[in-house]
Structure 1
Amino acid sequence: MTSQMKSMRTLTREWLALPDQYDRFTRYLRDNGLTTATRLLLGIIVIGLGVCALLNRFSPAGPTSTIALFFNSVVVISCFVVGVSWWVFGPTKRRSFGFVVFCDIAVTISVVGDSSQLARLLTCVIFALIGIYIAYFHNPKLQIAHLTFSVVMIVVAAQPILFGPDRDPALGVSKVLVVVTALVVCAFISQIVLTMLSMDASSSDLDPLTGLLNRRGLDRHVEKVLAEFQRQESAALLVIAIDIDRFKTINDVHGHDVGDRIILRVAQRLSAWAHADAVVARVGGDEFILAQRLSVPAIGPMLDSIGPAMHSNTDEIPSTSSIGIAVRTHKLTAGEERATAFTDMQKVADSAMYESKRLGGGRVHTIVTTASR
């Protein structure tokens, strides 16, 4: 029994330590061509909630007071605006957090506005849908905050049926248990599915620790970047090699758990720095490769920004990385295969990275290839 309890405590700690899933899951959606479909689906869901709130105005169980009708209108309009903006502007991590907060507030307003006791509890079921979204796109801490807030709102919604003039405690308790069970089960089943996907990633194109592409995934997905580079007239191709400095020492001194957290930190910073259409991969224990195209005028600002983006003096366990960059502005020549061109660029980036390491690490070294190369 004691060993089982320890196992549960360890499992809980590991779950709470999971990083935010946004970059990882959105990259998975993008690499599998599901980004547009996901944006469309989420927009439809939010607008659908607005339609439900609008229809609720015409129900005897819906909002009746002037204040309730006002807030119902706010929810309806906000749902339509958020749904359309999800299609037009697309999500970012910050917008995604805001989306969760908006949904919780909108559901809360709808719950408070309902005049029917059972309708209030029924509306609380929407909290379960928000929990599913959090499980896939964000972190366990946000999930716990959402679940706590949702349970409080469910209890508030149940007050009239539990303690009001027409109270029915048995019915109220049973309905509260049903809604809370749906809320918790949906959240944790989604988490289990996500964990299973992560486990399956070890045999796919994804690195199971970081969610980035692995070496096989890199070889498959870089073809699209090369094709776009060849097609765009004034484009440059960047291939970046990154290696964490003195990583073996970090593992020996602080342990492999800290080493894994540093790898995750580098992966997240690299993903945040890269353009949305970049291909980012973890190709070794502490080695990363990035390939992306960009306009020639953007080369300088991008190269200047990568060093500060990858390093921070406020890290609990400081680390630095040696960064090597290969830049190519000339197109592939007749008969030059894309796979071979990328391999050559990767070798140049590796050489630049080793030069950064030779100079002491924590540096960025760039090599521009020429047409005669």
Structure 2
Amino acid sequence: MARPSAWTARCGWRRANATRDTAGTCPRLNHISARGEGSMSTLSSVVRSVRLWWAIPVDYWWLVGYLESHLLARMARAVVATFSILFGATAILLVISQSGPHGVPGNVLGGVTAGVSLLWAARWSFGSWPQLWLSQLTVVLADGCISLLCVQTDDAVVGLLALVGFVLTTAYTVIFHGPKLLLLHMFWVLASATIAFGRMWSTGAFGGDAGAIGVAVLGGFAFVVTPPVVQLGFWMMRTDAVESGMDPLTGVLNRRGLFMHVDAMESRADADPEAVIVVVAIDLDLFKQVNDTFGHSVGDEVLLRTARRIQTAARETAVLARVGGEEFVLLDVMSKVDIAPMAERVRHAIGEPAERAHVTASCGAACVAVADWTTIRRRDRTAVLETVLMRADRAMYDAKRGGRDRIVVDAVPVETASIE
């Protein structure tokens, strides 16, 4: 069974503590006591969330998949590529400016930084999404180049201003990486800012102005503290979003999660305009007898086993959701001639022998043509998917009435013109 999310655990802990009996003889003392317990609960919840945030592995590929499923991957790649080009152009401008790094070390550093930045921009524009280790290495190298460029500049003020480059690497690390790399990054930023600040102090750039010094210290503190807080909040919202779209028992999507993946079909549909978007409704036969005979715990095992068997039998591109007690839905893009063989593989996989509580399934399939799907306005796609799902349900019930443990395919694509 899937583990509860940090958000669920945190809220559950708070609810449990909120029900404590604080009754006593003095209403005012009771009020103070309840308020104190509420403060302790909040503090403990924050501590627990921070510990979970720190301990959970980086889900780098989840974010990549999320961006791709919401058609945001191309925009994200363009943003990173643009920042890389600006980073390289800034390195070149620093080298050719009067206050920038000079001499062989400075020129080499600027040239290497500019060259690597342009290569990285090309990688993001035309290559595949970088592996996790390459993304982490890029953050480390970029941090090192920014610090060296700051130290190499002749003008201490320009060197301090060059620290603005850390804004880009900080934003990238907050979004794509976990707390450990972010902490290492922020320590590096703090050390670099301290060195730059010390250079300016030694040159008398502050002129003994206590206000300027206070603003510099406050800005540095905010720059170091804000990113971890933002990443923690981003992680909590992301965890809540993931769990709200997933079935906690089987770990596959729930009905809401299925409809969140509607737009993801567009990018896959472009690959074959002659294909169809297929919805397969899968319902376990006589599942109530499993619960009545073996108990609900065994029924849960059957549902979990069924989800795993469906995933094994379906293609890797398929999207699986549990939309009811014992009903699953499979969503995929394929040729019409492949619908029946795919549904038959799924039906056969579910009905394979099991140690206990053997079950079979009835499957119904319906589809919509890719050529029609790509012309539908995005706001109308949910209605179209609902119609295809209704047709698949109807075919599934036809399979049950036909004797169960069989498939029925509605091969006539849904007419989208009548739905819009």
Same fold (TM over 0.5): yes
Shift of 1:72: 0.7
- Letter paired with 2:162: T
Shift of 1:60: 2.1
1:134 to 2:173 alignment: yes
**Distance in 2, Cα, partners of 1:195 & 1:86:** 28
- Single out whichever of 60-69 and 9-18 deviates more from structure 2: 9-18
Q: 1:189 aligns with which of 208, 230, 248?
A: 230
Letter in 2 for 1:11: S
Per the alignment, do residues 139 and 54 of structure 1 end up closer, same or farther by CA in structure 2, a change over 3 Å counting? same
Is 1:215 the equivalent of 2:243?
no
**Which residue in the other structure is 1:99 paired with?**
138
Among 42, 49, 69, which residue is 1:31 paired with?
69
Normalising by structure 2, we get a TM-score of 0.53
Alignment match, 2:187: 148
- TM-score computed with the length of structure 1 as normaliser: 0.59
1:18-57 aligned at under 5 Å gives the runs 18-57=56-95
Question: Alpha carbons of 1:115 and 1:180: their partners in 2 closer, same or farther (altered >3 Å)?
Answer: farther
The sequence identity of aligned pairs, in percent, is 24
Structure 1, unaligned runs of 5 or more: 242-247, 250-265, 296-323, 347-366
Distance 1:341 1:190 in 2: 39
Question: How much does 1:61 deviate?
Answer: 1.9
Q: CA deviation at 1:75?
A: 0.6
Deviations 1:281-340 (A, max 9, x none): 57689x997755579xxxxxxxxxxxxxxxxxxxxxxxxxxxx9x9x9x998xxxx9878
Contact 1:18 1:140 in 2 (8 A): no
Q: Work out whether 1:68 is the aligned partner of 2:109.
A: no
- Of residues 181, 197, 203, the one that matches 1:158 is 197
1:60 and 1:230, CA in 2 relative to 1: closer, same or farther beyond 3 A? Answer: closer
Deviations, residues 236-259 of structure 1 (Å, cap 9, x unaligned): 989899xxxxxx99xxxxxxxxxx
Paired letter, 1:184? V
* Counterpart secondary structure, 1:125: helix
Gaps of 5+ in 2: 1-35, 283-295, 298-307, 336-360, 370-383, 394-406, 412-420
Is 1:178–2:219 an aligned residue pair?
yes
In our comparison, the structure showing a higher alpha carbon Rg is 2
C-alpha displacement of 1:82: 0.6
Answering whether residue 153 of structure 2 is matched by residue 114 of structure 1, we say yes
Contact 2:277–2:334 under 8 Å retained in 1: yes
Q: Work out the CA distance in 2 between the residues paired with 1:113 and 1:83.
A: 24
CA distance in 1, matches of 2:261, 2:102: 55
What is the deviation of 1:30? 2.1
Provide the residue aligned with 2:54 in structure 1.
Answer: 16
Summarize deviations over 1:57-98 as a string: whole Å, max 9, x none: 232221122201110111111111111210101423424333
Alpha carbons of structure 1 residues 279 and 118: separation in structure 2 relative to 1, 3 Å: farther
C-alpha distance in structure 1 between counterparts of 2:271 and 2:81, whole Å: 34
| Aligned equivalents of 2:215, 2:184: Cα separation in 1 | 24
